[in-house]
A and B are shown apart, each in its own frame.
Chain A
Amino acid sequence: MRLMRSISRQLPISTPQERRTFLLASAASALAGLLVLPQAWYLSRAVRSVFPRADGAHAWFAALTAFFAVIAARAVLMAVAKWLSQRFASHVKRRIRREMVEQMAALGPVEVRRHPAGAWRTWLTDGIDGMDAYLASYLPQAAASAAVPIAILAFAAVEDRLTAVILAGTVPFMVLLLVLVGRAAQKATDRRFEALERLGGHFLDVVRGLWTLKVFGRSRAQVGIIERVADDYRRTTMKVLRLAFLSSLVTELFTMVSIGLVAVSLGIRLLNGRMDFAAAFVLLLLAPEYYLPIRNAGAQYHAARDGVAMLERHREVLETPIPAVRQRDGGRTPFVSPQGVAIEFRHVTVRYPGAEKPALEDVSFRIGPRELVAVVGPSGAGKSTLLAVLLGFIRPESGEVLIGGVPLDEIDLGAFRRHLGLVAQEPTWFHATLRDNVTWNEPRSDEEVREALVMSGLDHVVERLPAGLDTELDGERVQLSGGERQRLALARLVLRRPAVALLDEPTRSLDLATERALEERVVPWLRERTSIAVVHRLSLALAADRVLVLDGGRLVEEGRPEELLLAYGYFHAMVSRYRGEEVLS
């Protein structure tokens, strides 16, 4: 039992149900495998009953009946083993998927964004689905692969010593060959398959950059290049494979020669009358079964490799340190009024994992209810990091963030986030109707929704859509431009009526008229609550109650815009550049 437990620790098993299913599947498949012995036995009895001498009219009939009973039992066991193995694989895959997704939620965007979005999508879908061969075939059959050859060998040892010696003697050679030839060949093959993946990357690169190639008249040449590169790859790969497949040739050859050896040695002893035909026939039937696991080793190697790689990835993800503030149950809830809440940064320093320079350094400020604060500064100054800290996406290295007097890491994050509204830098549309996208699936009256649409300027967009508010967003038939997505996020914000509104460059992709109309309508609305807006077009900053100027992670200026303009510092310089730039008269 202790052995079982230590084995199951190595396996991707973590619940008692999974262990039960796995053990049952293994047992069923091992049992089905072992039934090959009686199967061969009754088959040979059937032949033996008429050959070399006929035993009696119905002896072969009885043997065949028994044979049918065995194969019926074996078929049922096989089906059960298959079913249980698939169930096991299904459970494990679902658990792994759930664990990874939950971990992603805990890690937050700071860590998740370190891998490209496509990588996450591939892991969560194809990566996990690709574990099937490992989970449903390789693992549950491992017991049978070990048990059946041993049983056959034991049976041979009882029936015919010489056959047992041949069977036992050939295996070490084959294993040795597999290790010697197979390892090196396998490595070479793996490298070729990695090269194939890179080739896939090249293809995608070229397709993504198609328009650029087209514009410079280079695309047509690429058709030939793609084919030539893939063809070159084929040629070099075939050279490797010619060698790599030698290992399987050797195993194959060795198996066949061994079976032949068994057959010939049986034949000679039959000839000498030192052996019973039935026993010889059984052994001949069993010999191929004995070598089957070794012959399958190659195919199983790949299944195991892919499965283990995904398990490895899963473990890495689960063991990644969490940079975000942890959700805690029973945290404190600060009082948040609809007019907002006091937010205070005290000497906050933030460093991203692996980064040398801090993204924010010793930043302190305080924002009250009914206040619109603009955060400005050159790119890389730490503006978005400031929002990330407030959202709990990254824990400060030192310093404190207080929400209504409660430190952020003691707060009930879930409760606090209910009062939050965010317009992200690149707002997301979700696969749902436009209405659900705006309301977060909450019941809202048409009146409220329309109001929010008008305020965010999304109403014109909705008019153009085929099914209006009930249009399903799918990213293919209906595509929203950057500006439209920004308006969508604004409508979402307005409809949510948060006490704390956070906006990251909300007018970045809007055209002038929309931007202007928006500011007229939205700025007064933002002033009715605690609002922080990161801006790079300065008109919003000039309309704010207060401006924070960041540079290189430090808070270099702070104050009302008109005061800052008179101070002739950073902000003044930025505004004069902005005005000079915008009003070229």
Chain B
Amino acid sequence: MRRVRWMWGFVRPVVGRVAGSTGLSAATFVAAAAMMATAGYLISAAALKPSTILMLWVPIVGVRFFGTSRAAFRYLERLISHDTVLRLTARLRALIFSHLERHPDTLIGRRTVTTLDLILTDMERVQNGLLRLLLPLGSGLASSALVGAWLARVDLSLAVTFALGVLVAGIAAPLLALWISNRWHSSRFAIRQRREAGMDDLVRGIDELLAHGEMDEMLARLDSWDEEEERLTAHLDAVRAILDGTLYVGATATVAAVLAEAIELHLTSNLPGTMIAAVTLMVMAAMEPWTTAGPAFADAFEVSRSVAQMVDLAPVSSEEVGPRAESEGTSATLSLALASTHTAFSTHGLCCRRGDVWALRDVDIEVPRGHRVAIVGDSGAGKSTLLQVALGLVAYDKGEVRWFGHPLVGWSESELRRLVTAVPQDTYIFHTTLRQNLLLARSDATDEELMMALSIAQLEDLVSRLPKGLDTVLQDRGYSLSGGERQRLSLARAVLSGAEVVLCDEPTSSLDVETERSFMEAFFTALRDKTVVWVTHRLTGMEFMDQIFVLHEGRVVERGTHRELVHRGGIYSALWTIQREMGSSSFKNGSVR
């Protein structure tokens, strides 16, 4: 039911076009039927040897007219239906994206790469479902209704026979086939998913599978799934083959039945003989949409699955996360508040759940403006969650989150983003020019400003290395960036955005020691007078921090400056000891003779 509602909401804006192309498609079929009927009438009338050829003039013109109009209808129908599908493509993309945009946390908990690859397939299937299922069904019904109406004018019994034929061959048989094969479809879907997972394992884990001599077993497993799929496919193929035969018999038998009835009518009552061939040919052409559309029903299962995926990914209505979309003229009061407040960021009693686990429990944090604050903790301590909550990317369950004294939810998106930016763990590089990749931080920046930001981030040599400088398309073959360069690009973006607060999520974790060191130097020089929140699990550069919060299992367990914490003898000082020992103790062991 949800699927039907979703589909309706999705199609509604173009419903006129859908109806139009359905009508045109029906007109195509009707024109073909009419042409064949007229042709049949023509030769029948001719066989009666009328006194003058003028008697045949009307059917001759009719044949030509229906013939040409059929081609024209078909042309228009194809144009309109393609236009409709392209409109739907645009709409579906915007729909999915705007949902994801309002709920960025939807993507958490999904293996984004695979899921996204699948999104496109599903989107395509949803659009094609419309073209290959709904359109033929609609036009089949419409054209059959028209043909039926004409037959009823000739004789009601002909129309009844035709309607029965359509019902059995066009609708009942495919539905029955769908019902019978549903179970196999489900099992095949399951086995295909398992196989896809296997393929995924194979592609990602090829090193380990080969290195440990496990590849043969993996291949055998894949082959066994393939075998199972082939077995299920054989069942489905059998249904499909029988359906094809049945559809054909149904359609042809309908023609024969109508013919038999027409002959009876001709012999017993007063149906003119010229109508026999006409009626037969008409019905024959009118069955065409059903014999071609019937097999498409087999795809109904996949289409419905894909729609379900879409419903799952972008339900029509749901609550938003984070700051509001539109600003409501609060700038004046905000700037007033900004001038007077000394606190950039604060949380009070913040609790946040991730799945079944509390990622943050009762977290109180205060970041004064212009300070550098570090948030330190093991993996799984809740550091990243805290940052995502602060950025308004995920919802929290309890407590308060404030930026410059104002609750997070009261901020308009654009205001907040102007003041707060982030340097993530892995920088995303868009498949576009270096310039565009930078401009997203501030769209009106001049080239000089761009170069300035790049030089602050120590990236000038990158620009000179790239063949087209700022206009080189990144991520293309050959122009990929190293880990250090990616993080510096992120820094350049942060510098360029001019935000007052920069949140950093372990920006150096994927860098080697040398690169990490030079990145941090560049970072702290570039952001000298900004408020910086630095999240990390390594205690590098901690003595530059004004305050350090230690997170452990979602709680703030210690706070203070580096010096204070080292002497307090808690978790932080233990970590510090370890770090120091790892740098030197093994060296000591080594150098003792």
Q: Establish whether residues B226 and A98, one from each chain, have CB atoms under 8 Å apart when the complex forms.
A: yes
- A237: B residues at CB distance < 8 A: 82, 86
> Which residue on A lies nearest to B50, using beta carbons?
A271
CA distance A539 to B586 in the complex (A): 7
With known contacts A79-B241, A249-B72, A509-B509, A109–B114 Cβ distance under 8 A: no
B379 located at the interface, meaning its Cβ lies under 8 Å from any Cβ of chain A in the complex = yes
B93 located at the interface, meaning its Cβ lies under 8 Å from any Cβ of chain A in the complex = yes
A211 located at the interface, meaning its Cβ lies under 8 Å from any Cβ of chain B in the complex = yes
Interface string of A194-228 (1 = CB under 8 A from B): 00100011111111111111111111101110110
A443 located at the interface, meaning its Cβ lies under 8 Å from any Cβ of chain B in the complex = no
Q: Establish whether residues B71 and A252, one from each chain, have CB atoms under 8 Å apart when the complex forms.
A: yes
CB distance from A546 to the nearest CB of B (A): 12
CA distance A537 to B586 in the complex (A): 12
CA distance A122 to B227 in the complex (A): 20
CA distance A428 to B208 in the complex (A): 8
CB distance from A343 to the nearest CB of B (A): 15
Q: Establish whether residues A266 and B46, one from each chain, have CB atoms under 8 Å apart when the complex forms.
A: yes
Q: Establish whether residues B587 and A575, one from each chain, have CB atoms under 8 Å apart when the complex forms.
A: yes
- B281: A residues at CB distance < 8 A: 284-285
Q: Establish whether residues A253 and B263, one from each chain, have CB atoms under 8 Å apart when the complex forms.
A: no
Q: Establish whether residues B579 and A234, one from each chain, have CB atoms under 8 Å apart when the complex forms.
A: no
Q: Establish whether residues B114 and A256, one from each chain, have CB atoms under 8 Å apart when the complex forms.
A: no
CB distance from A365 to the nearest CB of B (A): 20
* B residues contacting the other copy or chain, number (CB 8 A): 171
> Which residue on A lies nearest to B229, using beta carbons?
A94
- A543: B residues at CB distance < 8 A: 586, 589-590
With known contacts A211-B104, A424-B208, A431-B198, A280–B579 Cβ distance under 8 A: no
Q: Establish whether residues A223 and B94, one from each chain, have CB atoms under 8 Å apart when the complex forms.
A: yes
- A210: B residues at CB distance < 8 A: 100-101, 104, 107
Residue of B47, B50, B197, B222 with most partner-chain A CB within 10 A? B47
B351 located at the interface, meaning its Cβ lies under 8 Å from any Cβ of chain A in the complex = no
Q: Establish whether residues A233 and B226, one from each chain, have CB atoms under 8 Å apart when the complex forms.
A: no
CA distance A246 to B389 in the complex (A): 56
Q: Which segment, of A82-90, A305-313, A345-353, faces chain B?
A: A82-90
CA distance A226 to B482 in the complex (A): 29
- B372: A residues at CB distance < 8 A: none
Q: Establish whether residues A52 and B47, one from each chain, have CB atoms under 8 Å apart when the complex forms.
A: yes
Which of A227, A263, A280, A475 lies in contact with B47, CB distance below 8 A? A280
Q: Establish whether residues A561 and B199, one from each chain, have CB atoms under 8 Å apart when the complex forms.
A: no
CA distance A466 to B356 in the complex (A): 9
CA distance A208 to B104 in the complex (A): 11
> Which residue on B lies nearest to A582, using beta carbons?
B583
Which of B200, B244, B325, B441 lies in contact with A82, CB distance below 8 A? B244
Q: Establish whether residues B63 and A260, one from each chain, have CB atoms under 8 Å apart when the complex forms.
A: yes
Q: Which segment, of A7-15, A149-157, A177-185, A415-423, faces chain B?
A: A415-423
- B91: A residues at CB distance < 8 A: 227
CA distance A391 to B589 in the complex (A): 32
- A551: B residues at CB distance < 8 A: none
CA distance A383 to B263 in the complex (A): 88
By secondary structure, the B interface counts as: helix
Which of A46, A205, A288 lies in contact with B263, CB distance below 8 A? A46
- A405: B residues at CB distance < 8 A: none
Q: Which segment, of B232-240, B396-404, B448-456, faces chain A?
A: B232-240
Q: Which segment, of A333-341, A355-363, A395-403, A478-486, faces chain B?
A: A478-486
CA distance A86 to B119 in the complex (A): 28
Q: Establish whether residues A216 and B583, one from each chain, have CB atoms under 8 Å apart when the complex forms.
A: no
Q: Which segment, of A69-77, A166-174, A446-454, faces chain B?
A: A69-77
Q: Establish whether residues B75 and A249, one from each chain, have CB atoms under 8 Å apart when the complex forms.
A: yes
CB distance from B371 to the nearest CB of A (A): 19
> Which residue on B lies nearest to A264, using beta carbons?
B60
Q: Establish whether residues A259 and B245, one from each chain, have CB atoms under 8 Å apart when the complex forms.
A: no
> Which residue on B lies nearest to A105, using beta carbons?
B215
Q: Establish whether residues B497 and A216, one from each chain, have CB atoms under 8 Å apart when the complex forms.
A: yes
B366 located at the interface, meaning its Cβ lies under 8 Å from any Cβ of chain A in the complex = no
By secondary structure, the A interface counts as: helix
Interface string of B27-39 (1 = CB under 8 A from A): 0000000011001
B424 located at the interface, meaning its Cβ lies under 8 Å from any Cβ of chain A in the complex = yes
Q: Establish whether residues A80 and B241, one from each chain, have CB atoms under 8 Å apart when the complex forms.
A: yes
A379 located at the interface, meaning its Cβ lies under 8 Å from any Cβ of chain B in the complex = yes
Which of A51, A203, A479 lies in contact with B44, CB distance below 8 A? A51
Which of A104, A206, A267, A421 lies in contact with B212, CB distance below 8 A? A421
A190 located at the interface, meaning its Cβ lies under 8 Å from any Cβ of chain B in the complex = no
B564 located at the interface, meaning its Cβ lies under 8 Å from any Cβ of chain A in the complex = no
> Which B residues from 262 to 281 make CB contacts under 8 A with A?
263, 266-267, 273-274, 276-277, 280-281
CB distance from A186 to the nearest CB of B (A): 14
> Which residue on B lies nearest to A430, using beta carbons?
B201
> Which residue on B lies nearest to A298, using beta carbons?
B78
CA distance A475 to B247 in the complex (A): 44
Q: Establish whether residues A208 and B112, one from each chain, have CB atoms under 8 Å apart when the complex forms.
A: yes
A-B contact count (CB 8 A): 457
Q: Establish whether residues A47 and B259, one from each chain, have CB atoms under 8 Å apart when the complex forms.
A: yes
A17 located at the interface, meaning its Cβ lies under 8 Å from any Cβ of chain B in the complex = no
A496 located at the interface, meaning its Cβ lies under 8 Å from any Cβ of chain B in the complex = yes
Interface string of A46-80 (1 = CB under 8 A from B): 11001110100000100010011001101110111
A281 located at the interface, meaning its Cβ lies under 8 Å from any Cβ of chain B in the complex = yes
Q: Establish whether residues A121 and B277, one from each chain, have CB atoms under 8 Å apart when the complex forms.
A: no
B260 located at the interface, meaning its Cβ lies under 8 Å from any Cβ of chain A in the complex = yes
With known contacts A82-B241, A241-B79, A539–B583 Cβ distance under 8 A: yes
Which of B208, B240, B493, B515 lies in contact with A86, CB distance below 8 A? B240
Interface string of A119-140 (1 = CB under 8 A from B): 0111011100000000000000
A542 located at the interface, meaning its Cβ lies under 8 Å from any Cβ of chain B in the complex = yes
Q: Establish whether residues B117 and A222, one from each chain, have CB atoms under 8 Å apart when the complex forms.
A: no
Q: Establish whether residues B440 and A218, one from each chain, have CB atoms under 8 Å apart when the complex forms.
A: yes
Interface string of A81-103 (1 = CB under 8 A from B): 01100110011001001100110
- A404: B residues at CB distance < 8 A: none
Which of B40, B60, B109, B113 lies in contact with A479, CB distance below 8 A? B109
Q: Establish whether residues B222 and A101, one from each chain, have CB atoms under 8 Å apart when the complex forms.
A: yes
CB distance from A497 to the nearest CB of B (A): 12
Which of B50, B357, B586 lies in contact with A464, CB distance below 8 A? B357
Interface string of B126-139 (1 = CB under 8 A from A): 00000000000000
> Which residue on A lies nearest to B112, using beta carbons?
A208
- B208: A residues at CB distance < 8 A: 422, 424, 427-428, 489
Q: Establish whether residues A86 and B233, one from each chain, have CB atoms under 8 Å apart when the complex forms.
A: yes
- B277: A residues at CB distance < 8 A: 47, 51, 281
With known contacts A223-B94, A245-B78, A124–B422 Cβ distance under 8 A: no
CB distance from A402 to the nearest CB of B (A): 19
Interface string of B577-591 (1 = CB under 8 A from A): 011111110110111
Which of B78, B355, B513, B591 lies in contact with A536, CB distance below 8 A? B513
CA distance A536 to B244 in the complex (A): 64
> Which residue on A lies nearest to B226, using beta carbons?
A94
A578 located at the interface, meaning its Cβ lies under 8 Å from any Cβ of chain B in the complex = yes
CA distance A266 to B210 in the complex (A): 72
- A259: B residues at CB distance < 8 A: 35, 39, 67
Q: Establish whether residues B440 and A579, one from each chain, have CB atoms under 8 Å apart when the complex forms.
A: no
A20 located at the interface, meaning its Cβ lies under 8 Å from any Cβ of chain B in the complex = no
Which of A101, A118, A430 lies in contact with B117, CB distance below 8 A? A118
Some 30 contacts from A to B, beta carbons below 8 A apart, are A43-B255, A51-B266, A54-B267, A82-B237, A102-B219, A117-B113, A207-B107, A208-B428, A215-B417, A216-B441, A224-B94, A227-B93, A245-B75, A246-B75, A252-B71, A252-B75, A259-B67, A264-B63, A267-B56, A378-B514, A417-B213, A430-B201, A431-B197, A464-B357, A542-B590, A561-B587, A562-B593, A579-B587, A583-B579, A583-B580
8 nearest CB pairs, A to B: A217-B417, A256-B67, A230-B90, A428-B205, A79-B245, A270-B46, A582-B583, A417-B213
Known A216-B497, A284-B39, A579-B587; further 20 A-B contacts with Cβ < 8 A: A50-B266, A64-B260, A68-B253, A78-B244, A83-B240, A105-B215, A117-B113, A206-B430, A208-B112, A212-B440, A214-B104, A259-B39, A378-B514, A379-B482, A391-B207, A420-B211, A422-B208, A431-B197, A479-B109, A578-B513
